[in-house]
């Protein structure tokens, strides 16, 4: 670990396609409500949108796709909705893990798994092992995930590793639950809300943010292309000036 550049300690290389895309899949409930359906019908359709997003990301050369499926605050929802989401998660794991593996996808889950049904945890662990050596795309599902939880558990692990050493950025980054991935280049939130809702707080330091009113079940390959087109128009300065970036380009072309 520690093989990835930290956006605050050095300037990462960037390309025209985001290497790591992180998405808050929001708007399932409203998608269903618009159709006079129960909220859970939106979650069911949301799984189909996940399949499409995974496929589109592979086709476009994305290396890491991270999806926020259930936040540490989502336990506050009505118990019937929470238990539906848990069943849907279990069913999706049962149905999709083999397909993910067949498509060369490495599967990971981040979040505090202690409150989950042991059957879910078992499927997650088995799926992670099954797909560990795949290299086409790393698909991470954030479940019972919270950005503050992640930073805190990393700080605590730094302390445990060396109780007398000062806590450093490098150590925190090493113990964050997604230390196996570079920081997200592009953060997408569907459903019209413009907030981070305790997603990857540490790692979003220099990500480009893209918000769309599209509800998650309606988000498709074309929506992803629109997000990528917006991303390509951004100038990622990482604290530097525009002139410095242009000079850097000129030097690169001359050599």
Q: How far apart are CA 209 and CA 8, in angstroms?
A: 17
67 binds Mg ion (CB under 5 A): no
User: Which candidate, 189, 194, 197, 215, places its Cα nearest to that of 30?
Assistant: 215
For the chain, the straight-line distance linking the first and the last C-alpha, in angstroms and rounded, comes to: 32
Out of 59, 129, 170, 193, the only residue in the binding site for ligand IPE (CB under 6 A) is 193
Q: How far apart are CA 197 and CA 73, in angstroms?
A: 9
Cβ nearer to ligand IPE, comparing 114 with 194: 194
Backbone angles phi, psi at 68, to 5 degrees: -85, 110
**Least separation in angstroms between CB 18 and ligand IPE:** 19
Out of 18, 23, 24, 26, the only residue in the binding site for Mg ion (CB under 5 A) is 26
Q: How far apart are CA 112 and CA 149, in angstroms?
A: 8
71 binds ligand IPE (CB under 6 A): yes
The HSE-up count of residue 76 (CA atoms within 13 Å, CB side) is 4
Catalytic, 26? Answer yes
Residues 116-145, interacting with Mg ion (CB under 5 A):
none
Residues 165-184, interacting with ligand IPE (CB under 6 A):
none
Residue of this chain nearest to ligand IPE (CB atom): 29
Out of 191, 208, 210, 223, the only residue in the binding site for ligand IPE (CB under 6 A) is 191
- Count of beta carbons in the 10 Å neighbourhood of residue 204: 17
Residues 26-45, interacting with ligand IPE (CB under 6 A):
26-30
**Catalytically annotated residue among 74, 103, 134, 198:** 74
Which of the residues are catalytic? 26, 74
Provide the binding-site residues for Mg ion, judged by CB under 5 A: 26
């Amino acid at each position: 670990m520690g093989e990835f550049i930290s956006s605050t300690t050095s300037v990462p290389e960037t390309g025209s396609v985001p290497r790591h895309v992180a998405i808050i899949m929001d708007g399932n409930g409203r998608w269903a409500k618009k159709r006079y359906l129960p909220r859970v019908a939106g979650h069911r359709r949301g799984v189909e949108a996940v399949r499409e997003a995974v496929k589109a990301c592979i086709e476009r050369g994305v290396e890491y796709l991270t999806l926020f499926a259930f936040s540490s605050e989502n336990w506050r929802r009505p118990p019937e909705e929470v238990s539906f989401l848990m069943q849907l998660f279990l069913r999706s794991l049962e149905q999709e893990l083999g397909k993910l593996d067949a498509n060369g996808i490495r599967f990971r889950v981040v979040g505090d798994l202690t409150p989950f049904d042991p059957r879910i945890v078992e499927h997650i662990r088995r799926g992670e092992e099954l797909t560990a050596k795949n290299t086409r795309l790393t698909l991470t599902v954030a479940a019972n995930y919270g950005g503050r939880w992640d930073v805190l558990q990393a700080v605590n692990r730094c302390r445990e590793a060396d109780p007398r050493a000062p806590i450093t950025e490098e150590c925190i980054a090493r113990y964050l639950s997604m230390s196996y991935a570079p920081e997200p280049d592009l953060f997408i939130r569907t459903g019209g809300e413009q907030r981070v809702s305790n997603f990857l707080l540490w790692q979003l330091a220099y990500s480009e943010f893209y918000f769309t009113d599209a509800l998650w079940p309606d988000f498709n390959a074309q929506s992803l292309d629109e997000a990528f087109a917006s991303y390509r128009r951004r100038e990622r300065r990482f604290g530097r000036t525009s002139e410095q970036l242009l000079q850097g380009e000129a030097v690169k072309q001359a050599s």
